[in-house]
Amino acid sequence: MHVSFVGAGPGDPELITVKGQRLLGEADVIIYAGSLVNPALLSLAKQGASIYNSASMTLDQVIEVMEKATERGQKTVRLHTGDPSIYGAIQEQMDALDKKNISYEVIPGVSSFLATAAALQREYTLPDVSQTVIITRLEGRTPVPEKEKLALLASHNATMCIFLSVHMIDSVMKELIDGGYHQDTPVAIVQKASWPDQKIFRGTVSTIGKIITDAKIDRTAMIVVGRCLDSQYALSRLYAPEFGHMYRDAK
């Protein structure tokens, strides 16, 4: 492969995959998303590797670096925060590489919404509470399709993980309440999940806005909403004695 899109994980450098780590060590050229990828990962690069921070580059410049490396017979790693398939803007890069007949692969990563569940020590899919996780964002400069507006999604009362929106916390909570979440639905906000300076804030749909504004949290945070943050739920059937499955007979 000429180019490997690699999920860097949410921050903790030990949360990259074994495969991603190997490819990083082998790469001649590394282009990383400087705003969120932990720079500690760059210490895995081999000596002499060329390293670019994509924060100051345009799409065309990124593709040009990949193309030049490919012409020289070199391997490129494009390092994206979390998992590249979620708000990673990799489709446009893959489409541009297709046009130039440059081969590529995608190595998944631990997304920040999963590192957030780990930080909270909660399960998103609790029996009798919610069996659905909605990954979404509030509309910003990137438009959101009409049928995916937060208020509409909120009507399901499922577990929601809201990316890229903490700087608009009041609008997020207003839409959630308009959409049907009860005022006392629990909310947790994790900033920089898995980083040494990780912070956790808790409240409800009606109280979290002030908590987050007072704490001046306006970036790199995941908003989790739903009753899964409460402790009342039915026990999973998977480990119930009378519930048999492929690997265990019912008693």
| Dihedral of the alpha carbons of 149, 151, 153, 155, in degrees to the nearest 10 | -160
As measured in angstroms, the least distance from the Cβ of 224 to ligand SAH is 10
Looking at 58-205, list the stretches that DSSP marks H as alpha helix, in order from N- to C-terminal side: 59-71, 91-99, 112-120, 150-154, 169-179
Q: Which of 2, 4, 10, 37 binds ligand SAH (CB under 6 A)?
A: 10
As measured in angstroms, the least distance from the Cβ of 57 to ligand SAH is 17
Strand order in the sheet with 104-107: 50-53, 29-32, 76-80, 3-7, 104-107
How many residues at the interface with ligand SAH, by CB under 6 A?
24
220 scored as a contact of ligand SAH (CB under 6 A): yes
What is the per-residue binding string for ligand SAH in 103-122, x denoting contact by CB under 6 A? --------xx--xx------
Q: Which of 42, 51, 57, 86 binds ligand SAH (CB under 6 A)?
A: 86
130 scored as a contact of ligand SAH (CB under 6 A): no
Rounded to 10°, the helix 91-99/59-71 angle is 50
Which stretch, 53-61, 92-100, 151-159, 215-223, contacts ligand SAH (CB under 6 A)? Answer: 215-223
173 scored as a contact of ligand SAH (CB under 6 A): no
Contacts of 96 (CB under 8 A, 6+ apart): 59, 63
194 scored as a contact of ligand SAH (CB under 6 A): yes
Q: Which of 29, 134, 158, 222 binds ligand SAH (CB under 6 A)?
A: 222
Cβ distance to ligand SAH smaller for residue 3 or 221: 221
Do 177 and 169 meet the contact criterion of CB atoms below 8 Å apart? no
Do 109 and 38 meet the contact criterion of CB atoms below 8 Å apart? no
70 scored as a contact of ligand SAH (CB under 6 A): no
| Dihedral of the alpha carbons of 76, 112, 218, 208, in degrees to the nearest 10 | 170
- Interacting residues with ligand SAH (CB under 6 A): 10-11, 36, 80-83, 86-88, 111-112, 115-116, 163-164, 190, 192-195, 220-222
